[in-house]
Chain A
Amino acid sequence: MARHARHQVGAPRFAARAGIAGIAIALLGLLMVQSSSDVRRALQPARARMDGITSQLSSAANHHFAGYTWLFANKASKERIRELESQVHSLERWREASRTMSLRMVEYENMLDLMGEPQIGGVTARVIAETNGPFTHSRIANAGAVHGVFDGFAVVNEHGLLGRVVRTGHRTSRILLLTDYNSRIPVMGRTSLDRALLVGDKKVGARILHAETPDKIVEGEEWVTSGDDGLFERGLRVGFAHQDKEGWRLDLAMQRDAIDFVRILPPPSFVTPEELMISDGKLLTPNTDENLTSQSFEEASNSEQGGTNVGGRP
């Protein structure tokens, strides 16, 4: 009774206060520890497992509530279906034109002995969970390591580039969107051929930074991936340039519609000289005094005739 009365009048409860303060300090410590990239990396498996659980529950919720969408979006859905039908008719013409042009381009490349862009495959997946919190803009797709998806893969939808895979679980993958602050993508203008870095910005979508020739950028110009990082295929549509008070930004193509189905693309299969040497079993050896030798034309001629030692060595 006395204890009850003491609480009613709001007498200090030092144990409870100390406990709550202790929890708060522990949380601050936990946050501080995570400023280390090693710790963040160590947490990745746990987060990947959690992505799997989230995607399963979201998928179940999607399935359960899908029948109620007509309550909110019946009219909009019908309009969308009509719009998509007209787009399909239009795209069929483009598909035929594209096939013809592709065949011609292959012929031209063969005639010119030109190294064309590699044709890459990919996986189609559906976005089953999303995260638009204050810390990150990301999505979870229902394709993971078992489907051949790995970190760094590019993700596109019917409009253009969405972002890249930053974590893969067994059957899920987390996609970091272009709008996320941590997103950095090398891009180029289709008309100006200016190259820059696309940096995510939650307010406006994404900004163009470090442009080589910003005075050549044209308002409304289409920007695509430059492929300079070797991770993304060159020419994936990203958005359209628009200038505001703070500089150039892109109206991202991916923001035209809600994100649903996506295509996850592996990096182009460019093989670096080092990788080629390793694959052939001929590892490059570091340069030393023994294998670094200079050789003049005359010496080379003599050595071929068995006259002198290379580099004057005994």
Chain B
Amino acid sequence: MNTTTRIRLFLGAVFAIVICMLGATPLLHHMPFPLTDTWPIAVLLYALSTVRLGMSIWAAVLIVFVGLFQDFICEAPLGAWALAGLCGYGAGLVARGSFRAMSASIPVEFVSIIIGSIAGLMGLSLAGDIAGGAQVIDLSLVGDLIWTLGLYYLLSPLFAPYDEALSV
């Protein structure tokens, strides 16, 4: 991973934190979709976007950084969202590698973000079980996840560049 990509990833992490902060602003939270009351999950959006860059310690550290920040904002146990992001990133990487090897007809990116999202939720549930959370997975969280996946193709280029030649 070259320096430009690293800097871009870092700026993407800052952007993810801004998204997370704006989600805590009551006015903005209710403005776009007042009935659904949902907000994209910043750390998952960031983690799933970095999957296409391949495996990278730098990306993993930044995911943990965004996740810890989200833990503070969302009053979650420290490490819960970071673990969820890391699970999503890891599962997305595995899915991407496996499906790319299987067949060219499989929409690798789509499948990898779906699998990454599910792994992220499982990681969050695990974190909740460990740290004493309850009823972690509920309808509102699924709504947030759908919001996240809906915004993925729109926002992910801001987090990580679309460049297949990148090696990390």
Contacts and interface: CB of A to CB of B under 8 A. Distances in A.
B75 A135 contact: yes
Interface in B75-124: 75-80, 82-83, 86-87, 89-90, 97, 101, 124
Contacts, number: 149
Interface in B34-90: 34, 37, 54-57, 60-61, 64, 72-80, 82-83, 86-87, 89-90
A43 B54 CA distance: 34
A145 interface: no
Interface stretch (A87-95, A126-134, A205-213): A126-134
A52 B101 CA distance: 49
A106 to B, nearest CB: 39
A103 interface: no
Given A47-B72, A135-B76, A58 B25 contact: yes
Contact of A133 (B75, B90, B97): B75
Contacts of B79: 27-28, 30-31, 34
A202 interface: yes
Contacts of B89: 20
A20 B55 contact: yes
Contacts of A69: 27, 31
Contact of B74 (A17, A20, A136): A136
Interface stretch (B7-15, B137-145, B153-161): B137-145
A181 B76 CA distance: 13
Given A24-B86, A28-B83, A73-B34, A135 B26 contact: no
Nearest to B129: A31
Among B34, B60, B78, B101, chain A packs the most CB atoms within 10 A around the CB of: B78
Nearest to B166: A7
Given A7-B167, A62-B26, A19 B136 contact: no
Interface stretch (A8-16, A117-125, A223-231, A235-243): A8-16
Nearest to B77: A34
A132 B141 CA distance: 9
> Range of interface residues on chain A?
35 or more
A35 interface: yes
B20 to A, nearest CB: 10
A23 to B, nearest CB: 6
A74 to B, nearest CB: 12
Given A47-B72, A138-B75, A131 B60 contact: no
B67 to A, nearest CB: 8
> Range of interface residues on chain B?
35 or more
B56 A16 contact: yes
A13 B64 CA distance: 20
A134 B133 contact: yes
B151 interface: no
A201 to B, nearest CB: 8
A62 B25 contact: yes
Contact of B138 (A4, A57, A134, A258): A134
B75 to A, nearest CB: 4
B138 A61 contact: no
B97 A16 contact: no
B17 to A, nearest CB: 10
Contacts of A297: none
Interface of A: 4, 7-8, 10, 13, 15-17, 19-20, 23-24, 27-28, 30-32, 34-35, 43, 46-47, 50, 54, 57-58, 61-62, 65-66, 68-69, 71-73, 127-136, 138, 140, 174, 181, 202-203, 258-260
What 9 pairs across the A-B complex have the smallest Cβ distances? A133-B74, A7-B167, A30-B79, A135-B76, A136-B75, A50-B72, A27-B79, A31-B130, A61-B25
Interface of B: 21-22, 24-32, 34, 37, 54-57, 60-61, 64, 72-80, 82-83, 86-87, 89-90, 97, 101, 124, 127-128, 130-141, 167-168
Given A23-B86, A54-B73, 9 more contacts: A16-B57, A27-B127, A35-B130, A62-B26, A69-B31, A72-B32, A128-B26, A133-B74, A181-B134
5 contacts: A20-B55, A58-B21, A62-B25, A73-B31, A202-B140
